[in-house]
Homo-oligomer: A and B are copies of this chain.
Amino acid sequence: MKPVFDKSGLLTTVVCDARTNKVLMVAWMNEESYALTKKTHQTWFWSRSRQKLWHKGEESGNTQEVVSMTLDCDFDTLLVSVIPAGPACHTGHETCFFNEVEMEE
């Protein structure tokens, strides 16, 4: 089973906490970071803003230990279930998703 990378060679990736299922972050993998993640059991991404390979936690120490990886029904989106060593977000929040949107009544 192989992932389908998009035209830019990227795979949309959702990272969730294996213990709570909480979504921690969304990032993109290229073929190299996907291979490194499978091999090292830690998350690697392709940073679209910095245009470079990115080992999550390499600077902050907040690595993510991979418990399992699952592709979606058409193989073009990846869910990675992890045990995080610290906050996923560079702001120090546990998860990058903390800006609540107000719904219309």
Contact = CB atoms under 8 A, between A and B. Distances in A.
Interface in A51-90: 66, 68-73, 75, 77-79, 89-90
What is the copy number of this chain in the assembly? 2
Interface of A: 1, 12, 14, 16, 20-23, 25-26, 38-39, 41, 66, 68-73, 75, 77-79, 89-91, 93, 96-104
A72 B96 contact: yes
- The interface centre, meaning the residue of A69, A79, A96, A104 with most chain B CB atoms within 10 A of its CB, is A79
- Tell me the dominant secondary structure on chain A's binding face: strand
Contacts of A72: 25-26, 96-99
Contact of A26 (B12, B41, B100): B12
